[in-house]
Structure 1
Amino acid sequence: MPATRYTIASKVLGSAMWFWVMYKAKEEGPVVLGLRHPWDGHGHGHGHGAHGEHH
Structure 2
Amino acid sequence: MAGGYTRFGPLPKPHVSRIHNFISKGLGATMWFWIFYRVREDGGVMLGLRHPWDHGSGHHEVEDVKEEH
Same fold (TM over 0.5): yes
Q: Secondary structure at the match of 1:39?
A: coil
Larger radius of gyration: 2
CA distance, structure 1, for counterparts of residue 35 and residue 22 of structure 2: 20
Aligned residue in 2 for 1:31: 45
Q: Secondary structure at the match of 2:26?
A: helix
Structure 2: 5+ residue runs without aligned partners?
1-14
CA-to-aligned-CA distance 1:24-49 (integer Å, 9 cap, x gap):
11111101211111111166x7x54x
Taking the TM superposition and a 5 Å limit, the aligned residue runs for 1:1-55 are 1-41=15-55, 47-48=59-60, 53-54=63-64
Q: Which ranges of 4 or more aligned residues in structure 1 deviate by more than 6 Å?
A: none
CA distance, structure 2, for counterparts of residue 33 and residue 25 of structure 1: 9
TM-score (norm 2): 0.59
CA RMSD of aligned residues (A): 2.4
Higher helix proportion: 1
Amino-acid identity (%) = 45
CA distance, structure 2, for counterparts of residue 42 and residue 20 of structure 1: 25
The 1:54/1:18 distance shift into structure 2, 3 A limit, reads: same
Structure 1: 5+ residue runs without aligned partners?
none
TM-score (norm 1): 0.71
